[in-house]
Amino acid sequence: MYKEPVSILVIIHTLDLQILLLERADHPGYWQSITGSQNQGETLLQTAIREISEETGLNAIDYHLTDWHIQNQYEIFQEWRWRYAPTVTHNTEHVFSLLLPKPIPVSIATREHLGFTWLPWQEAEKKVFSESNAQAIRQLANQEKQKIHHY
CATH code of 57's domain:
3.90.79.10
Task: Give domain status of residue 1, yes or no.
Answer: no
Task: Give domain status of residue 13, yes or no.
Answer: yes
Is residue 128 within 8 Å of 33, Cβ to Cβ? yes
- Ligand-binding annotation for 53, yes or no, is no
Mean pLDDT of 13-42: 96
- The mean of the pLDDT values for the chain is 94
Q: What is the pLDDT of residue 34?
A: 98
Distances in Å between the alpha carbon of 3 and those of 37, 81, 90, 93, 139? Answer: 7, 10, 12, 13, 28
Domain count, the chain: 1
For residue 83, the enclosing domain spans 6-149
Q: What is the pLDDT of residue 144?
A: 77
pLDDT in tens, 99-143: 999 999 999 999 999 999 999 999 999 999 999 999 999 999 998
- Ligand-binding annotation for 56, yes or no, is no
- Ligand-binding annotation for 132, yes or no, is no
Task: Give domain status of residue 69, yes or no.
Answer: yes
- Phi, psi (degrees; rounded to nearest 5) at 66: -125, 130
Task: Give domain status of residue 95, yes or no.
Answer: yes
Contacts of 74 (CB under 8 A, 6+ apart): 90, 91, 93, 130, 131, 132
pTM above 0.95, yes or no: no
- Residue 150 pLDDT exceeds 80: no
- Ligand-binding annotation for 130, yes or no, is yes
Q: What is the pLDDT of residue 151?
A: 47
- Residue 89 pLDDT exceeds 80: yes
- Ligand-binding annotation for 145, yes or no, is no
Task: Give domain status of residue 18, yes or no.
Answer: yes
